[in-house]
Chain A
Amino acid sequence: MASNTPLPKIAGTTPFDGEQAQKGYALNKMCFSFNSAENRAAFQRDEEAYMRQYGLNAQQSDAIRARNVLQLIAAGGNAYYLAKFAGIFGLDMQDIGAQQTGMTKDQFKAKLVAAGQ
């Protein structure tokens, strides 16, 4: 079997592979910088300048402006780094989950609870 045979698609899932890692490098590098409080403050002072500094492309910049997680993933974002971006706005994982699944936060939390029953 060829090592690069495409694997069957998992619905609603984008494995962060080499293609995504290349596409999203600038975006993820910016999000990685948000480990530092100083950098988070710099982003909040001037988002546009901060995005230019990291060389985000138009798709990535639009997704950041829209605070839209699915768009950020489509632009190459990785969940672990994007979480640091979400943290700036005090969003938790249920806010993020609700946004991506088109549910309210309460609906999303109910879905999680239901998974345990």
Chain B
Amino acid sequence: MAKLIGCIGTSHIPAIGGAIHKGLQQDPYWKPFFDGFPPVREWLGRVKPDVVVMFYNDHGLNFFLDKMPTFAVGAAAQYNNADEGWGIPTLPPFKGEPDLSWQIINTLVEKEFDIVTCQEMLVDHACTLPLKLLWPEGECPVTVVPICINTVQFPLPKASRVYAMGKAVGEAIAAWDSSKTVAVIGSGGLSHQLDGERAGHINKVFDLQFMESLLTNPEWATQFSIHELVEKTGTQGVELLMWLAMRAALTTGTGAGVRKVHSNYHIPISNTATGLLALEKID
């Protein structure tokens, strides 16, 4: 059976792509953000995942309002990035892992999650930037299964539902008939709001409590409604749902415990409170 080794939650602000492109990692503005990553890369270098399952939210590259799935699972052999309209460099295609995609799809539908499946799927900065941050040099060494959760159009899926879906994905990975090693990524957040008179809203107290909860009490955030999460974390802060799905994926199989590899939290990058959290699954 496949081995699920742990998870990494990270923010995915588009401007990060520009900063990488311009080599600004040690610039005073960017350094507190980028300096979070070397300890996580070192851990990944040791545990060497073959495959990454990526919970992320599309920002209007692949999906438009004509068809807006709540949960969409990628089932492609390759995922292409493309122009998102604001000038960040387009990254080379990523390799998929169709066998795991279908293992996840079959498991989710069996467990009554009525998902959308995508044999073609453009992936935006939310999917490409975490890979570039975790594996900055050369070709990306992992294959990817992207799972998109709608945070564009309300109603969004409830936090408790996202948690249950993430848990089912974890069960699918654990039951995958493969010798491969799998990590899970949650890409989004943390607190931020781009739109309205409340633009610039950030909630450090909530963010830190949320990050702590993922270590000790992973279901903590499921007590909140989407409306409450928006009120606390902002209209885009609700992307923390990706982290919740990611963490839930680690609560199954042999040994539901985790240990913290590393965490980082920095305000601001662009308009966003940035978080980074790597957890290793303990058998």
Instruction: Point out residues on A near B: beta carbons under 8 Å.
Output: 7-8, 10-18, 21, 25, 28-29, 31-32, 34-37, 40, 69-70, 73, 78-84, 86-88, 90, 92-94, 96-97, 100-101, 108, 111-113, 115-116
Contacts and interface: CB of A to CB of B under 8 A. Distances in A.
B231 A32 contact: no
B166 to A, nearest CB: 23
9 tightest A-B contacts by CB?
A116-B267, A87-B86, A12-B198, A12-B197, A84-B85, A115-B202, A79-B195, A112-B268, A97-B199
Interface class of chain B by DSSP: loop
Contacts of B236: 79
A40 B271 CA distance: 25
Interface class of chain A by DSSP: helix
B202 A7 contact: no
B268 A40 contact: no
Interface of B: 15, 59-61, 64-66, 82-87, 152-155, 193-202, 204, 227, 230-231, 235-236, 266-268, 270-271, 273
A25 B155 contact: no
Contact of B267 (A96, A97, A115): A115
A73 to B, nearest CB: 6
A36 B83 contact: yes
Contacts of B268: 112-113, 115-116
A15 to B, nearest CB: 5
Nearest to B151: A80
Given A100-B196, A101-B199, 10 more contacts: A11-B197, A15-B227, A15-B235, A29-B65, A34-B85, A73-B196, A79-B195, A82-B195, A86-B86, A92-B270
B198 A11 contact: yes
Contacts of B87: 87, 90
Nearest to B274: A116
Contact of A97 (B194, B230, B266): B194
B200 A10 contact: no
Given A35-B61, A83-B86, A87-B87, A13 B198 contact: yes
A18 B82 CA distance: 28
B273 A83 contact: no
Contacts of A116: 202, 204, 266-268, 273
B66 to A, nearest CB: 8
Contacts of A112: 200, 202, 267-268, 271
